[in-house]
Amino acid sequence: MSIQIRWSAAFSSYTDAVDGELEAKHLDVVTPESISRAAGFTDEDISTVLPFVNGTRVPMDGPLQDGDEVRFDIDIHPS
């Protein structure tokens, strides 16, 4: 599975939050949350992340498909 990842500049302090292509051959299910956690985000951090897949806002636990482009933005008004 190949997924394109784009991070908002607001996440530049996370050294593992880098733009690029994710090759997820060893994972059964990839979600925006699993990508965020792999980049070092905590539960509190994840509450500020807004994932968009192919331009559409999606839930953090939504499964991703081969060829998806995921853009992570920051929610300036987290709940």
Domain count, the chain: 1
- Domain CATH for 67: 3.10.20.30
Q: Is the pLDDT of residue 33 over 80?
A: yes
Sign of CA dihedral 4, 9, 10, 11: positive
> Is the pTM value of this prediction over 0.75?
yes
- Phi then psi dihedrals of residue 66, to 5 deg: -55, 130
CB 60 within 8 A of CB 49: yes
Question: Which structural domain, as residue segments, surrounds residue 29?
Answer: 2-74
CB 54 within 8 A of CB 65: no
The β-bridge relationship of strands 69-74 and 49-53 is antiparallel
Considering the domain boundaries, does residue 79 fall inside one? no
Question: For residue 27, what pLDDT is reported?
Answer: 62
Q: Is the pLDDT of residue 40 over 80?
A: yes
